[in-house]
Chain A
C-alpha cells in the first residue's frame, strides 16, 4: 500500500470577508498549496472539494468543477458534503484514491462563505445539518444541540461552565501567533463566563465564530513524491470514518461521540499507532464542549475526565498533548467546508516545524486531526506522521 504524502498546503486567512466569493477563496488557497508543493497543476488526477452551505450562501450548486477551474486544474472534480466534516471526508477519499493506485496526485480542500448570510442566516444554514423534522422544527439550533450535550455531560459526569471556559482561553492563547486566525486576542475565564448567552450553558465565547475561508492540500503518492524529489516529510498514515444516528435524541449517548471513537480507532489501527503515541491533535471544537467530547472519543482523556484537561494544563501548549495549537475552530475560525482540510494543513506544518507554534511540539512525530459533522453523526479522523 502506498504512503500518502502531504506535498503542500495552503490556507486563506479565516475571518470576516463577506464580499469574497467562494471561488476567489479557493483560488487563493490552492495557489498557495501548489507553490508550497512544487507539483505542477497538470499532474493533478482529481479534485476532491468540501462545501456545506453553498446553495444557501452563494446560490451555487455543482461546485466541484467550478473550484477545479478556479484552481487552474483540468481534472475531474467532485464535491463532498458532510456538514462541517465536508473537507475531512474529501481528504479521506483522496487518501483512499491514492492508496488504491488510481491517482498519484489529488488536490483536496474546501471552502465556506458564511458571513454574507448574517448571524440569523448563518444560524439557519447551520441548523440544516440537524434533523429538519424532529430537531429544527422544535427550535433546535446548532449551538443549541451542543448545549444539550453540554448539559447532559454536566449531569452525567460533572463539571461546570468554568471548566469549559479554560478551553476557550487556551485556544485563543494558541491563536496569538497564527496570522491566519480570525481572533488574535487573549481572553480570560471571566470574559467567557460573563459573555452573552447563546444557548445555555454555552455563551458567545464558548462558540466558534461565523467565518469565511478556504483550505487546500496537495496529496501525492510516496512514489510520486520520491520520483519528483518533493520536500514532503509528512504522510497521512491512518484514516477512519464513523457514523451515528442522525438526530441527537436517537443516540445511545447524549454526552459522548461514538462516531468519533469509531473513526479514531479505525485511523489508529490503520496507522498502527494508539492514543498514547499521539503528540499533538487538531480537534473539532466548534463549541467548547465539543473539544471535551473529541479528546475523550480519541482516547486522549478517559471518558468523564476531558472536561478538566485544559484547566489542569494537560492540553495547553506546554502540556503533554497540546490540542488545537492553531487556535482551533474557536479562535482560528470555522468556515465549515474548509475546516477538515485546514486541520491537515495545521498538523502538517506543526510536524514539519514550519508552524508558528511548532516549538511547542519540537519532538513531535505523530499528529491527529478530528473533524465532525453536525452533532457528530459524521466523524473523520486522520493520523499524520513524519516519515522522511
Chain B
C-alpha cells in the first residue's frame, strides 16, 4: 500500500490484527457473530458489540478457481477463492500455499494476510493447516 492511501477504519485494523496473529470477530450479547466494520448486530440490532478472538482455524465450505479475474488480480489468475466457516462467522478469502487443484470442501485452513501479485495490495489468504 502506498503511504498516501487512506485506510479503511475497521477493515484495515482487522487485517493488521490478522498479521499480528490476533484475528477477532464481533459478538453481541446474544452471541451473534459478525465482521467489522460495523456498529450494529445484523441479526438482532444490538449496538453492544465486543471484539472476541476468532477460532484459530476454519473449514472450507465452498470454493471456486477463477480464470477470468478483475484487473486487480490479472497476474494472480488462476487462483482459488473460498468461503470458510470459523464457527461464529464465515469469511471469504484466497486459498494460498497449495495447488488450486488440491482445494476442496472440508479443507482446514488458517488466516494469513498475503499480497496481490498484480497490485501489491493486501489480500486475505487461507493457508492449509
Among B81, B89, B105, the one with the most A-chain Cβ atoms within 10 Å of its Cβ is B81
Number of interface residues of B (CB under 8 A): 37
Residues of B within 8 A of A140 (CB): 66, 81, 92
CA distance A152 to B81 in the complex (A): 13
Residues of B within 8 A of A196 (CB): 67
Contacting A at CB under 8 A, from B58-93, are 61-74, 76, 79, 81-83, 89-93
Are B65 and A136 in touch, CB under 8 angstroms? no
Query: Which residue of A123, A124, A199 is within 8 Å of B64 (Cβ)?
Result: A199
Are A138 and B71 in touch, CB under 8 angstroms? no
The answer to whether residues A245 and B67 also contact, given A138-B93, A152-B61, A250-B34 and a CB cut-off of 8 A, is no
Query: Which residue of B42, B62, B66, B71 is within 8 Å of A254 (Cβ)?
Result: B62
CA distance A155 to B83 in the complex (A): 13
B5 to chain A: closest CB distance in Å? 13
Interface presence of B40 (CB below 8 A)? no
Q: Which stretch, A141-149, A223-231, A268-276, touches the partner chain B? A: A141-149
Residues of A within 8 A of B90 (CB): 249-250
CA distance A266 to B62 in the complex (A): 30
CA distance A196 to B77 in the complex (A): 14
Interface presence of A198 (CB below 8 A)? yes
Are A120 and B42 in touch, CB under 8 angstroms? no
Query: Which residue of B67, B92, B93, B123 is within 8 Å of A198 (Cβ)?
Result: B67
Number of interface residues of A (CB under 8 A): 37
Are A144 and B81 in touch, CB under 8 angstroms? yes
Are B121 and A137 in touch, CB under 8 angstroms? yes
The answer to whether residues A127 and B105 also contact, given A138-B81, A139-B79, A148-B81 and a CB cut-off of 8 A, is no
Interface presence of A119 (CB below 8 A)? yes
Are A120 and B74 in touch, CB under 8 angstroms? yes
CA distance A249 to B72 in the complex (A): 21
Interface presence of B94 (CB below 8 A)? yes
Are A200 and B64 in touch, CB under 8 angstroms? yes
B76 to chain A: closest CB distance in Å? 7
Query: Which residue of B35, B42, B68, B72 is within 8 Å of A143 (Cβ)?
Result: B68
Kindly count the residue-residue contacts between A and B in the assembled complex, taking CB atoms under 8 Å apart.
109
CA distance A331 to B79 in the complex (A): 28
Nearest opposing residue in chain B for A124, CB measure: B70
CA distance A201 to B62 in the complex (A): 11
Instruction: Tell me if A's interface is mostly helix, strand, loop or mixed.
Output: helix
Interface presence of A151 (CB below 8 A)? yes
Interface presence of A197 (CB below 8 A)? yes
Are B123 and A138 in touch, CB under 8 angstroms? yes
Interface presence of A133 (CB below 8 A)? yes
B103 to chain A: closest CB distance in Å? 10
Are A134 and B92 in touch, CB under 8 angstroms? yes
Interface presence of A75 (CB below 8 A)? no
CA distance A300 to B70 in the complex (A): 35
Interface presence of B99 (CB below 8 A)? no
Residues of A within 8 A of B68 (CB): 119, 123, 141, 143, 198-199
Interface presence of B8 (CB below 8 A)? yes
CA distance A139 to B115 in the complex (A): 11
Interface presence of A135 (CB below 8 A)? yes
Residues of A within 8 A of B49 (CB): none
Residues of B within 8 A of A341 (CB): none
Interface presence of A121 (CB below 8 A)? yes
Among B11, B42, B67, B72, the one with the most A-chain Cβ atoms within 10 Å of its Cβ is B67
Are A139 and B66 in touch, CB under 8 angstroms? yes
A172 to chain B: closest CB distance in Å? 21
Contacting A at CB under 8 A, from B93-129, are 93-94, 105, 116, 121-124
Interface presence of A70 (CB below 8 A)? no
Residues of B within 8 A of A127 (CB): 70
Are B61 and A144 in touch, CB under 8 angstroms? no
Interface presence of A248 (CB below 8 A)? yes
Are B124 and A138 in touch, CB under 8 angstroms? yes
Residues of A within 8 A of B122 (CB): 137
Supply 7 A–B pairs (Cβ within 8 Å), ascending by A. A133-B11, A137-B124, A138-B81, A138-B124, A199-B66, A248-B83, A250-B34
Chain A contacts to B: CB under 8 angstroms: 119-121, 123-124, 127, 133-141, 143-144, 147-152, 155, 196-202, 245, 247-250, 254
Q: Assuming A134-B11, A249-B83, what are 17 further A-B pairs, CB within 8 angstroms?
A: A123-B71, A124-B72, A136-B72, A137-B122, A137-B123, A137-B124, A138-B123, A139-B72, A139-B76, A140-B81, A141-B68, A143-B66, A152-B62, A199-B65, A200-B65, A249-B90, A250-B35
